[in-house]
Structure 1
Amino acid sequence: MARERATALLVDFDGVLRRFDPAVAARVEQEYGLSSGVLGEIAESWGMLQPVLTGQVNHAEWVSSVADALTPSVGDPGRARAAVEQWQRYRGEVDPQVLAFIREVRAAGIRVGLGTNATDLLDADLAALDLTGELDVVVNSSVIGIHKPAPEYFQAACAALETPPGRVLFVDDEDRAISGARAAGMSAYRWNGPADLRYLRAALAG
């Protein structure tokens, strides 16, 4: 039995709509004499990341925790905090092709939501990147207290889109999130880059 045509689109933020230049973190690590990749390793370790993605701590508290964990590598708490804050000042860049696609989809009458595991800094990031008003709904894990790939996250996203799961197409660059969305009854596509937009256009066109 063929699936129903999607009437709503849910798009991940980091890795799909927003991208980060790895050279920024590399320059900070070099400036502070840190080993390559250590900022990401500490900040994105699940024990550090999970509380901030579910709203148990805020972004500033998470930054402090990362700086505390980095201090042994730097030898000075002040330098560790300066390194983390300098790294965090860079808020990434919008992928212009993905943004153009979102505008095209919305112009065709399809609701578009942002489905992201994010901190309480998300609204400020959207504003800084001129994305305020570019999406119909924003589903932030730190606001709802549940993160992808939990089925409850996707249920909340579908409710926000006012669309049943079977009519929502989800796009993400992480396999776990794709599996979670499919388990929740959604169509899901693993993002590899802007070359995938051709397929997504066809999928939404039915």
Structure 2
Amino acid sequence: MARERATALLVDLDGVLRRWDPAVAAGVEREYGLSAGVLTEIATQWGRLQPVLTGRISHADWVTSVADALTPSVGSPDRARAAVDQWQRYRGEVDPDVLAFVREVRAAGIRVGLGTNATDILDADLAALGLVDELDVVVNSSVVGVNKPAKEYFQAACAALDTPPSRVLHVDADDRAISGARAAGLSAYRWTGPEGLRYLRAALAR
């Protein structure tokens, strides 16, 4: 049985609309004598990350916990905090191809939502990236209180888009989020780069 054509688009932020230059973190790690990849490793430990992604702690508290965990590696709390603060000043870059696609889709009358696992500084990040007026809705896990790939997250996203799941196409760079979206009844496309835009245009064509 053929699926209904999507009438709304839900795009992930990190890995889709926003990209990160790994050289930034690597530069901070070299400057502070840290092993390669340790900042991301500490910051994304699930027991540390999930509370900030579901709004149970603030971004500031999460940053403090990362610095605390880093302290033994750099020798002092002040040095650890300086390293983490320097790493955090970089807020990524907008992928121009994806932004152009979002604008194209909205111009065609299709609602576009941002569906992301994020912290309470998401609004500030969107402002810094110039994305505030580029999306119809923003669905932030730390506001919803549950993170992708949970079914409840995608239900909240569809409600925000005022579109039934069967008519929403989710684009994400994470396999678990893709599986979660499909389990919740959405269509989903695993993003690997701009070569996927042709497929997405066809999927949304009216």
Q: What TM-score results when the alignment is normalised by the length of structure 1?
A: 0.99
CA distance, structure 2, for counterparts of residue 90 and residue 99 of structure 1: 19
Which aligned segments of 4 or more residues in structure 1 are displaced greater than 3 angstroms?
none
CA distance, structure 2, for counterparts of residue 124 and residue 91 of structure 1: 10
1:169 alignment partner, SS class: strand
Q: Which residue of 1 aligns with 2:108?
A: 108
1:166 alignment partner, SS class: helix
Q: Which residue of 2 aligns with 1:7?
A: 7
CA distance, structure 2, for counterparts of residue 61 and residue 157 of structure 1: 26
- Give, in angstroms, the shift of residue 184 of structure 1: 0.2
Give me the identity figure in percent.
82
CA distance, structure 1, for counterparts of residue 82 and residue 15 of structure 2: 26
- Give, in angstroms, the shift of residue 151 of structure 1: 0.0
Q: Which residue of 1 aligns with 2:83?
A: 83
Spell out the pairing of 1:6-155 with structure 2 (5 A cutoff).
6-155=6-155
Output the amino acid matched with 2:165. Answer: P
CA distance, structure 2, for counterparts of residue 27 and residue 143 of structure 1: 32
Give unmatched runs, 5+ long, in structure 2: none
CA distance, structure 2, for counterparts of residue 19 and residue 105 of structure 1: 20
**RMSD of Structure 2 on Structure 1 (CA):** 0.5
CA distance, structure 2, for counterparts of residue 33 and residue 103 of structure 1: 43
Q: Which residue of 1 aligns with 2:166?
A: 166
- Give, in angstroms, the shift of residue 3 of structure 1: 0.4
CA distance, structure 2, for counterparts of residue 137 and residue 147 of structure 1: 17
2:15 alignment partner, SS class: coil
Output the amino acid matched with 1:173. Answer: A
- Give, in angstroms, the shift of residue 154 of structure 1: 0.1
- Give, in angstroms, the shift of residue 155 of structure 1: 0.1
Give unmatched runs, 5+ long, in structure 1: none
Q: Which residue of 2 aligns with 1:196?
A: 196
CA distance, structure 2, for counterparts of residue 92 and residue 55 of structure 1: 22
1:51 alignment partner, SS class: helix
CA distance, structure 1, for counterparts of residue 170 and residue 15 of structure 2: 14
Q: What TM-score results when the alignment is normalised by the length of structure 2?
A: 0.99
- Give, in angstroms, the shift of residue 75 of structure 1: 1.1
CA distance, structure 1, for counterparts of residue 79 and residue 121 of structure 2: 23
Spell out the pairing of 1:167-186 with structure 2 (5 A cutoff).
167-186=167-186
CA distance, structure 2, for counterparts of residue 55 and residue 164 of structure 1: 26
- Give, in angstroms, the shift of residue 78 of structure 1: 0.3
- Give, in angstroms, the shift of residue 31 of structure 1: 0.2
1:132 alignment partner, SS class: coil
2:152 alignment partner, SS class: helix
CA distance, structure 1, for counterparts of residue 187 and residue 31 of structure 2: 44
Output the amino acid matched with 1:204. Answer: L
Output the amino acid matched with 2:131. Answer: L
1:147 alignment partner, SS class: coil
